[in-house]
Amino acid sequence: MALHTELPIHRTGVRLLDLAIKAQVQMPRTVKRALGEKITQHCVDMLDLMALANATQRDTRAEYIEQLLAKERAITVLLRVSHDARYISPKLWADSIELLGSIGKQAGGWLKKTNRAPAA
């Protein structure tokens, strides 16, 4: 089993966290704590769930991946609200949505593989 830090999904998650921090810096002070910190915390939670999923097997792994996908959807919504309210730049929005799409695809594939794996 590879270290979680070597997984492509983890590297993508780290890039997303970097963008989340940049988004928080761009936000007006009035929403920095409410919106910016929530986005950043969800990204940190996703990285933690990736590590937990990598360290477990089958049913437990599937649960962690499903939680990871829920965080991915929540971040997408929060970033959409931020973009629509013009709290973040269109470039940052586009870059983050691309990374979120990649994480969603990788996690979805990981979940399918986990659910197909024979019970050990």
pLDDT at 2 over 70: no
Q: Quickly state the pLDDT bin for 120 (edges 50, 70, 90).
A: low
Q: In this structure, is residue 1 part of a structural domain? A: no
pLDDT confidence of residue 118:
72
Count: domains in the chain: 1
Q: Quickly state the pLDDT bin for 6 (edges 50, 70, 90).
A: confident
pLDDT at 24 over 90: yes
- Rounded to two decimals, the pTM is 0.91
Residue-range definition of the domain harbouring residue 60: 8-115
As a three-state string, the secondary structure of the chain is CCCHHHCHHHHHHHHHHHHHHHHHHHCCHHHHHHHHHHHHHHHHHHHHHHHHHHHCCHHHHHHHHHHHHHHHHHHHHHHHHHHHCCCCCHHHHHHHHHHHHHHHHHHHHHHHHHHHCCCC
Q: For 54-112, write each residue's pLDDT tens digit.
A: 999 989 999 999 999 999 999 999 999 999 999 999 999 999 999 999 999 999 999 99
Two tokens at 40?
């950043």
Q: In this structure, is residue 30 part of a structural domain? A: yes
Q: In this structure, is residue 110 part of a structural domain? A: yes
pLDDT confidence of residue 49:
97
pLDDT confidence of residue 33:
92
Q: In this structure, is residue 38 part of a structural domain? A: yes
Q: In this structure, is residue 31 part of a structural domain? A: yes
Mean pLDDT of the chain: 93
Tell me, what CATH number does 86's domain have? 1.20.1440.60
